[in-house]
Amino acid sequence: MIISVINYKGGVGKTTMTANIAAEMAYRGKKVLVLDLDPQTNLTFSFLTVEQWQHSYQHQTIKRWYDAFIDKDEELDLKDFITRPERAHKRLRALEATGILDLIPSHLDCSFRRNRTIYLPWELAN
């Protein structure tokens, strides 16, 4: 199942709702993959600290996948961009939840600058 939360308007609750739906579904035992496509990167920072992102993840974001796709016509394997945020993972285990919450982080410099169809969720689902 793919759930997309999309609205051009800011401040309407997209990030809050996405983070909470993901966490609740993982708590209920689902294997959840959160895909942050917003250059604001707030959803990413709901699960990673800024320091963690800078230290470990800033080169493993959706920006890198997208730039390779657009600039070099290269399709990197999206699975290589999946991270497991430690805080959420520990919290889920502490609650004895069996689900998983994984994340493909975003990047503040993301710009989906060309009008080319993005089909990431479908690729991941198949």
Ligand X SMILES: Nc1ncnc2c1ncn2[C@@H]1O[C@H](COP(=O)(O)OP(=O)(O)O)[C@@H](O)[C@H]1O
29 binds, among ligand X, Mg ion, none (CB under 5 to 8 A by kind): none
Give dist(CA 36, CA 105) in Å, integer: 6
Among the candidate windows 4-12, 45-53, 66-74, 118-126, which touches ligand X by CB under 6 A?
Answer: 4-12
Of residues 28-57, those binding Mg ion (CB under 5 A): 42
Question: Which residue's CB is nearer to ligand X, number 33 or number 37?
Answer: 37
Of residues 41-70, those binding ligand X (CB under 6 A): 42
8 binds, among ligand X, Mg ion, none (CB under 5 to 8 A by kind): none
Give the contact letters, 5-44, x = binds to ligand X (CB under 6 A), - = no: -----xxxxxxx-------------------------x--
DSSP of the chain, one letter per residue?
-------SSSSSSHHHHHHHHHHHHHHTT-EEEEE---TT-TTHHHHS-HHHIIIIITTSSHHHHHHHHHHH-----GGGG-B--HHHHHHHHHTT---EEEEE---TT----S-----HHHHHH-
Provide the minimum distance between the beta carbon of 18 and Mg ion in the complex, in angstroms, as a whole number. 8
Interface residues with Mg ion (CB under 5 A) are 14-15, 42
